[in-house]
Amino acid sequence: MATAERETKLYECEVKRRRVRAGGGYEPFWKTKKVADALVDADTEFRCKDCAGAVKLHKSHKVDGPGPHAEHKSRLDSEYCPSGMYFQKATDGREPRQSEHPVL
């Protein structure tokens, strides 16, 4: 193959937000949103919505390049995440699973 293998681009991720708890105070929760929106909203904690693994967000810098997206930080996450490139390329019939180091 001429082109280098690239990690799958995730255009949605989960961001950590807080909401008011019924009994008072706040509780964290994960909200799915578009990576483009997460970048604009200056969210600080992210994870993959499919495997809960850590992801890194990338802004788009080129007009003709990919849009804002996220990629797994860990290759292991990608190997077992239903959205992961390595998982999708695997031919051993493996089952997807959550990240071994989920972002909580």
Shortest approach of Zn ion to residue 38 CB, angstroms? 15
Is 50 near Zn ion (CB under 5 A)? yes
Residues 7-36 that bind Zn ion (CB under 5 A): none
Is 48 near Zn ion (CB under 5 A)? yes
Shortest approach of Zn ion to residue 98 CB, angstroms? 9
Residue 93 zone, left/alpha/beta (φ > 0; ψ -120 to 50; rest): left
Is 51 near Zn ion (CB under 5 A)? yes
d(CA 9, CA 13): 11
For residues 51 and 98, the answer to whether their CB atoms sit within 8 Å is yes
Shortest approach of Zn ion to residue 30 CB, angstroms? 13
Q: Which amino acid is at 10?
A: L
Measured from the CB atom, the residue of 18 and 66 that comes closer to Zn ion is 66
For residues 72 and 54, the answer to whether their CB atoms sit within 8 Å is yes
Helix or strand (DSSP H, E) at 78: helix 75-80
Which residue in the set 81, 85, 86, 87 belongs to the binding site for Zn ion (CB under 5 A)?
81
User: Which parts of this chain interact with Zn ion (CB under 5 A)?
Assistant: 48, 50-51, 53, 81
